[in-house]
Structure 1
Amino acid sequence: MKLEIEEPPKIVLKGTPKEIGLGHGRQLRTQIHRQLAIYEEMFEYTAKMPWEQVRALAEEFRASLETKTPDLYAEMQGIAEGAERDLLDIVALNCRSEISFGSFEDGCTSLSWKKRADARVLAQNWDWTHMVKENLALMAIEQVGKPKIYMVTEAGIVGKIGYNSAGVGTCLNAIKAHPCVSSKLPIHIALRVCLESTSVEDALQRMAALGGVASCQHILIADAQSSLGLELSPLGDVHLKEDQYGIVTHTNHLLENRFVSEPPSWAPGSEARLDRVRELSHELVEAGVKGNGITPALLRDAVFSDMLNAPRSICSQPEPERHRTVRSETLFNIVMNLDLNDLRAEVVVGQPGSGMETAVLKMPW
């Protein structure tokens, strides 16, 4: 018998940037306060960094964000006001990947797949500390003159994993490599820039115009006509194209970007997960799966619930011996259908196929 677990809140935000932020902060106030407590403990454990030092580093990003992305800066001001927290706390949440300087160890597996010339499927398992699961939210954002956004995010964070009404979708894989440059875009801000874009090409142009990203990360981005694996870094980017099957896959290590150097074996299991997701997706191709046969249920069952090499499997399992702030596991799976005639996504919170996940959540809802 499947256990019922609590579904994340679904919130709709609209209006000016400040109004969107206020709604976010007020509706997710409890979750934002919990997130800040979690990250305070995580920074202390992983980097021996007290929260005041985190806030001091956040100030470097705050000054840049105010100038480069004033709308998102106003949104963060609104979140802070709505949640009754200081602005630097909210900036720190949105720059946590950069401030950590690679002390955190995300583990995610992402996949895009060409259904036909004008449609893509974009999917991933998102792995992170179990402590943040209760602070996830499904969010719809409506802004004048911009595509409508549907995403799954952590409370207090303005950009993450999802898609928009123009058919642009984003997935995220953390990468650990120096340097970090605070005058450039934090990765969660870059994700939001992508989700406000009208195509993959538009997103690339917008990020370039803003000076590129602050830290080394991978965004798997797709629209209906194309997909690219963006191995991003402050020193230069590399774009991974679809393979002969129309597929792009990625985990948590760089495949082709040689502008930066990764610490050896910083993400144990990443290479095995990459081999496995490629093996499983190619098996589906060889079995004749294509077009409308590439369904969310099939991907959850045949790929994203896979437990080979557990605990560091595609469906990541917790390691009890690790400190709770870094005890990573799969927290949700998302599968997006990027077809302008049928834009939608399915989300399960928890480990797909485990019996410990939510029922399928639909976007739009």
Structure 2
Amino acid sequence: MNSPVAVHASAETDPGAAGRELGAAHGEAIRRTCATYARLFAAHGLHPHHVRDHARAALSEIGSWAPHLAEEIEGIAHGCGLPVWRVGAVNARTEILAAADVTGEGECSTSVVLPGDGEPPRTVQTWDWHDILGGAMLVRTLVSPSGRAIATFTEHGVVGKIGVNDLGLGVHFNVLRHRSDGGRAGVPVHVVARRVLEEAATVDEALRIAATARLSASTVLTVVTRDEARCLELSPAGIGEVAPREGFLTHTNHFLAPELADGERTSAAESSTFERHAWLAGKAPALSAADPTARARALCAHRDDAAPVCAHADLALPEHRRWETLATISLDVTARTMHVHPGGPCAVGEESWLTVPAARPR
């Protein structure tokens, strides 16, 4: 059964007040998400004191790079009654797991087609993560301190992830793993995605924003506008860029930019990322469909179909080793709208989408 996606709409532009509002409204879910991550960290051998110290260091980095988002995180913690470092830990969960040298099967497969002839981009991605975090999904509509309206799919307590802004820029999000990951805590990649959504109107602006963050973990932001799409592979070793080929751009969970690929930390023995990327390469016609439901159904491939783009948890495995496609997401950057289906492509239907505009809540 698919987990529901919670929704929170806010017109509050003061970061601390917006965080407190969110924390109060979704306190139980945020506390539950933080507790689940604590269990996940422990299963990977991380002591709570190490998680706390890393989270506090990450909060310091956020405070220097995006002070208003540090204020928002503090507000979320106060609103839901948790220590600030606990909420900091879920925002820095990618960095904490990278510091512990954690690898795994997932996550995520992304496709963007630029049809040309004035037609809008066609985008879709799966969001694969641990099945125990199915209840952590949250869609937020919010207004930045500068007045930018944003719709973002994220997790309870995490400031942002995938989304679209009212300037017509969208961001897809896939984790990567590089040999330069780890060490002293950097700016969390989820915070980078949120700030890109707040400030960027073009792919080049997104790149300039991301380039100012000192990172300690890797990810790829696939940034899309009406006329352009590019994968920005972020890592502590630098940023690689991947452009579409004949209007088609795909990414899974390994580096494609040659200058970073030599530092790849994920292997075919532990991840399906290489299989999924190869499978996507032959699906351009189906992924070009104007209808997001048709695009989502084009991602319906399981292990027996050659690549687990649509992942289902193996309940025989321990919970920290289980992966599932928890959501399928499409962005319409021309309509400034995000479509979210709770679950994998094999369950998507015309009526299963949650459609959320990047607009000021009324």
Q: TM-score, normalised by structure 1?
A: 0.89
Deviates more, 1:309-318 or 1:190-199: 309-318
User: Residues of 2 paired with 1:93 and 1:364: CA distance?
Assistant: 26
Structure 2 residue identity aligned to 1:95: A
User: Residues of 2 paired with 1:144 and 1:118: CA distance?
Assistant: 32
Give 1:298's aligned residue. Answer: 294
Shift in CA distance, 87/312, structure 1 to aligned 2, threshold 3 Å: farther
Give 1:346's aligned residue. Answer: 339
The answer to whether structure 1 residue 211 and structure 2 residue 206 are counterparts is: no
- Equivalent of residue 276 in structure 2, options 273, 277, 290: 273
Q: CA deviation at 1:326?
A: 2.6
Give 1:55's aligned residue. Answer: 52
User: Residues of 1 paired with 2:316 and 2:66: CA distance?
Assistant: 41
Give 2:115's aligned residue. Answer: 115
- Equivalent of residue 40 in structure 2, options 39, 42, 59: 42
CA contact (8 A) 2:7 2:140 kept: yes
- Equivalent of residue 324 in structure 1, options 294, 315, 319: 319
Any idea what SS the aligned residue of 1:11 has?
A: strand
Any idea what SS the aligned residue of 1:299 has?
A: helix
User: Residues of 1 paired with 2:312 and 2:350: CA distance?
Assistant: 13
CA contact (8 A) 1:174 1:217 kept: yes
User: Residues of 2 paired with 1:98 and 1:257: CA distance?
Assistant: 23
Any idea what SS the aligned residue of 2:232 has?
A: strand
Give 1:362's aligned residue. Answer: 355
Give 1:72's aligned residue. Answer: 69
CA contact (8 A) 1:122 1:338 kept: no
CA contact (8 A) 1:118 1:225 kept: no
- Equivalent of residue 87 in structure 1, options 79, 84, 88: 84
Structure 2: where are the runs of 5+ without partners? none
User: Residues of 2 paired with 1:25 and 1:239: CA distance?
Assistant: 36
CA contact (8 A) 1:58 1:91 kept: yes
Any idea what SS the aligned residue of 1:237 has?
A: strand
- Equivalent of residue 15 in structure 2, options 8, 14, 17: 17
Deviates more, 1:251-260 or 1:261-270: 261-270
Q: CA deviation at 1:253?
A: 1.1
The answer to whether structure 1 residue 176 and structure 2 residue 169 are counterparts is: no
CA contact (8 A) 1:127 1:330 kept: yes
Percent identity between the two aligned chains = 22
Structure 1: where are the runs of 5+ without partners? none
CA contact (8 A) 1:97 1:104 kept: no
Q: TM-score, normalised by structure 2?
A: 0.89
Count of aligned pairs between the two proteins = 349
User: CA RMSD for the aligned pairs?
Assistant: 2.3
Q: CA deviation at 1:95?
A: 0.6
Give 2:331's aligned residue. Answer: 336
Give 2:310's aligned residue. Answer: 315
Q: CA deviation at 1:266?
A: 6.1
Q: CA deviation at 1:39?
A: 1.0
Equivalent runs, 1:91-170 vs 2, <5 Å: 91-101=88-98, 102-105=101-104, 106-116=106-116, 117=118, 119-170=120-171
Q: CA deviation at 1:104?
A: 4.8
Q: CA deviation at 1:267?
A: 4.4
Shift in CA distance, 104/11, structure 1 to aligned 2, threshold 3 Å: farther
User: Residues of 1 paired with 2:56 and 2:350: CA distance?
Assistant: 38
User: Residues of 2 paired with 1:84 and 1:65: CA distance?
Assistant: 21
